[in-house]
């Protein structure tokens, strides 16, 4: 470890810069160099680290800071891989971690090396202070962006003992400002949507490219894609979304509150979402199972009309719903033009344990007096689904007090991903306080 990094946990933005400079784009992953660096920091602080490597060059790390045994163990975890980034179109290169205009720029700044840096800095600060009330487990996984097969899923399946004593965990995303109707709220993720990967096949007659072919597989596939683009699956009101909407409505002016509560009336939901503009687009995934066409393949040669076109769909599921139910919901858009060839995925965790929610709320309010904290359903998925199989409840909690104008969800997986330097220190301080306070007993 370089001498310049000896106290790097005191500067979480600089730590994030170091992490961004490891290109861990997935595919292919290449998390090893980044994991090596983190392991050196932890071992230099006297914390033992265990490596779990399902595939060569793709390690996951687990470290445990022993506590006094007064409270249960707490898990903080994140992932080291990031989605790929095209080099063009960025204000600052995606893998240089430049610090400019008060922000750290680069791929992973938000998803989720920023959170990893906060957790690591808070953990190292806690290690200096002596034993916390309970054990603190720190885990950084490979392969989250591709489903966690080589990361969290492998560690959970083969080494569940790494998480002994853990009931509550902290990971991505939550504690950032969400603005609606002129008010600011701070969501904490208490649930996430599940995944349904659906493969469609559209068939038609093959033929020579020189002979006109109308109504073939290509044309049918275009029709299917157009219908899916405008199709809306049914509205579903889940308990976590209802609770979130009620918490927001309680803090709005009377008229706005009445309008917002209309969201939990399925006959009104779409109309109200449309009236909310950007906020409505952010909220829509909390009310329905969704599907997007993300891949298409077909054809072998330019002069051959293909007989089959395959379409890949990314489906996302609300708590209480499974992949087959989503397939049934989109059948009206498929009609007889497309056949469902394969469905893979998982239903999301349905039971929610809010035992840590009040503590997380108090810590956030202690830094932002008057902050309104609300429960939140993550529109996407995370490694939380793997930990849930061990009975671990994950909370999305990487606090970022972002100023107005600094994007959050719009910047994730996009160009110019960035996080303010001040937000890094803010989140690190709250996570450090969480570690020092300790995890409450499970009721």
| Residue ranges of domains in the chain | 3-180+350-437, 194-346
Distance CA(353)–CA(410), nearest Å, equals: 29
Q: Using CB atoms within 10 A of its CB, is residue 311 exposed (0-12), middle (13-18) or buried (19+)? A: buried
Mean pLDDT of 218-233: 96
Given a cut of 80, is residue 322 above it in pLDDT?
yes
Share of the chain above pLDDT 90, in %: 88
- pLDDT tens for residues 23-77? 999 999 999 999 999 999 999 999 999 999 999 999 999 999 999 999 999 999 9
In the chain, pLDDT over 70 holds for what percent of residues?
A: 99
Contact 95, 35 (CB under 8 A): no
Q: What residues act catalytically? A: 81, 144
Q: Which CATH class is domain 194-346?
A: alpha beta
| Sign of the CA dihedral with 328 first, then 329, 335, and 338 last | negative
Q: Under a CB-based contact definition with an 8 Å cutoff, are residues 379 and 195 in contact?
A: no
Sequence-separated contacts (24+) of 83-87 with Cβ below 8 Å: 83/25, 83/26, 83/107, 83/111, 83/145, 83/413, 84/25, 84/26, 84/27, 85/25, 85/415, 85/417, 86/415
Q: Please check whether the domain covering 3-180+350-437 is classified as CATH 3.40.630.10.
A: yes
Return all residues near 265 (Cβ < 8 A) that are at least 6 apart. Answer: none
Contacts of 346 (CB under 8 A, 6+ apart): 194, 195, 323, 385
Residue 328 and residue 298 in contact, taking contact as beta carbons nearer than 8 Å: no
Per-residue pLDDT, averaged over 310-319, amounts to: 97
Identify the pLDDT of residue 350: 80
What's the average model confidence in pLDDT over 316-334?
A: 96
325 pLDDT exceeds 60?
yes
- pLDDT value of position 282: 86
Exposed/middle/buried for residue 10 (C-beta within 10 Å: 0-12, 13-18, 19+): middle
Q: For residue 49, how far is the Cα from the chain centroid?
A: 25
Going across the sheet that includes 194-203, the strands are: 290-298, 308-317, 194-203, 339-346
Average pLDDT over residues 328-353: 93
User: Peptide bond preceding 28: is omega within 30 degrees of 0, i.e. cis?
Assistant: yes
* Residue 3 clears pLDDT 60, i.e. is over it: no
CB 310 within 8 A of CB 298: yes
DSSP state of 82: B
Q: Which helix (H) or strand (E) holds 168?
A: strand 166-171
Eight-state DSSP code of residue 100: E
pLDDT of residue 69: 95
Of the listed ranges 10-14, 86-90, 428-432, the least confidently predicted one is 86-90
Q: What is the pLDDT of residue 405?
A: 78
pLDDT reported for residue 46: 96
The secondary element (H helix, E strand) that includes residue 434 is helix 421-437
pLDDT confidence of residue 357 = 97
Answer yes or no: is pLDDT of 2 > 70: no
Measured distance between the N- and C-terminal CA atoms of the chain, rounded to whole angstroms: 43
Task: Please give the Cα distance from 71 to 129 (Å, whole number).
Answer: 17
The torsion angle over the Cα atoms of residues 57, 294, 111 and 181, rounded to 10 degrees, is: -170
Task: Look at residue 407 and tell me whether its pLDDT is greater than 90.
Answer: no
Strand (E) or helix (H) holding 235: none
Confidence of residue 226 (pLDDT cuts 50, 70, 90): very high
- The answer on pLDDT for 283 being more than 60 is yes
pLDDT bin (cut points 50, 70, 90) of residue 1 is low
User: How confident is residue 341, by pLDDT bands cut at 50, 70 and 90?
Assistant: very high
């Amino acid at each position: 470890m370089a001498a310049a990094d000896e106290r790097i946990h005191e500067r979480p933005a600089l730590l994030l810069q170091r992490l961004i400079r490891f290109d861990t784009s997935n595919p292919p992953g290449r998390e090893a160099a980044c994991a090596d660096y983190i392991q050196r920091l932890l071992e230099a602080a006297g914390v033992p680290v265990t490596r779990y490597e399902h595939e060569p060059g793709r390690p996951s790390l687990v470290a445990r800071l022993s506590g006094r045994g007064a409270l249960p163990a707490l898990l903080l975890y994140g992932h080291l891989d990031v989605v790929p980034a095209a080099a063009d179109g960025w204000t600052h290169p995606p893998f240089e971690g430049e610090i400019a205009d008060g922000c750290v720029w680069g791929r992973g700044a938000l998803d989720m090396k920023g959170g990893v840096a906060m957790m690591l800095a808070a953990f190292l600060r806690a290690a200096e202070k002596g034993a916390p009330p309970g054990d603190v487990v720190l885990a950084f996984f490979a392969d989250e962006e591709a489903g966690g097969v080589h990361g969290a899923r492998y560690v959970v399946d083969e080494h569940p003992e790494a998480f002994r004593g853990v009931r509550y965990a902290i990971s991505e995303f939550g504690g950032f400002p969400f603005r609606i109707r002129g008010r600011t709220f701070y969501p904490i993720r208490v649930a996430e949507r599940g995944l349904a990967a659906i493969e469609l096949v559209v068939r038609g007659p093959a033929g020579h490219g020189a002979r006109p072919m109308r109504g073939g597989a290509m044309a049918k596939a275009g029709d299917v894609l157009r219908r899916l683009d405008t199709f809306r699956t049914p509205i579903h009101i889940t308990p976590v979304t209802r609770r979130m909407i009620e918490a927001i409505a309680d803090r709005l002016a009377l008229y706005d509150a009445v309008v917002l509560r209309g969201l939990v009336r399925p006959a009104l939901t779409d109309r109200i979402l449309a009236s909310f503009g950007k906020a409505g687009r952010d909220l829509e995934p909390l009310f329905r199972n969704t599907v997007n066409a993300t891949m298409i393949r077909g054809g072998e040669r330019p002069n051959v009309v293909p007989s089959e076109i395959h379409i890949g769909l990314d489906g996302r599921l609300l708590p209480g719903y499974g992949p087959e139910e989503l397939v049934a919901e989109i059948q009206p858009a498929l009609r007889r033009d497309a056949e469902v060839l394969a469905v893979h995925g998982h239903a999301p965790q349905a039971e929610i344990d809010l035992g840590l929610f009040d503590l997380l709320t108090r810590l956030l309010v202690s830094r932002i007096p008057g902050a309104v904290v609300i429960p939140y359903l993550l529109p996407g998925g995370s490694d939380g689904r793997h930990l849930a199989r061990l009975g671990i409840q994950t909370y999305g909690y990487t606090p970022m007090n972002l100023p107005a104008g600094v994007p959050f969800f719009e910047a994730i997986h996009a160009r110019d991903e960035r996080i303010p330097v001040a937000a890094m220190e803010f989140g690190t301080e709250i996570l450090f306080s969480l570690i020092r306070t300790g995890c409450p007993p499970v009721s």
